Amino acid sequence: MRVTRDTIDPIRARINAALAILGKEMGLTMSAGNCTYDPSGNYGTFKLTVNAVGEDGTVVNKEASDFKHFASMEGLKPSDLNREFSFQGHKYKIIGFKSRAHKMPIIAQEVVSGKRFKFAGDTIARMLSTEPPTIARLAP
């Protein structure tokens, strides 16, 4: 068998199935990502991603970790991760930070479709400041 474009996907699927079992045993998530391979088909190299799983069951990936680290540079708080906001009639959830995207580094996911979008930090800060508070109303 040769390592070719046609063999990469079936190989990745089997690797990911095995990594899912190992990850569950260890309390992590693991997956084989992109593969580079020799044009002659003699070898290939997969990128392996390993993520911790938080106590609440959410996966802690690089983008989420970076958000907590860089949020204050964008006028946000680390606790804003996973917070929802409305923008142009759609509901979004903050899921991460892309440090290489200088103009729009905040990554948000549209709640309904699951699609990912980029936002500027000041846009997110403005949207979060206009959201109604989620604190229970106190009786007069």
Residue 39 tokens read as 């044009």
- Strands of 2-140 (E only): list them: 28-37, 44-53, 59-60, 84-87, 90-97, 106-110, 116-119
Q: How far apart, in whole angstroms, are the C-alpha atoms of residue 138 and residue 116?
A: 36
Which parts of the chain have pLDDT scores under 50? 135-136
> pLDDT per residue over 57-71, tens digit each?
777 889 999 999 999
pTM equals: 0.67
Q: How far apart, in whole angstroms, are the C-alpha atoms of residue 83 and residue 93?
A: 5
Q: How far apart, in whole angstroms, are the C-alpha atoms of residue 108 and residue 118?
A: 6
Amino acid at 64: A
> pLDDT per residue over 32-47, tens digit each?
999 999 889 899 999 9
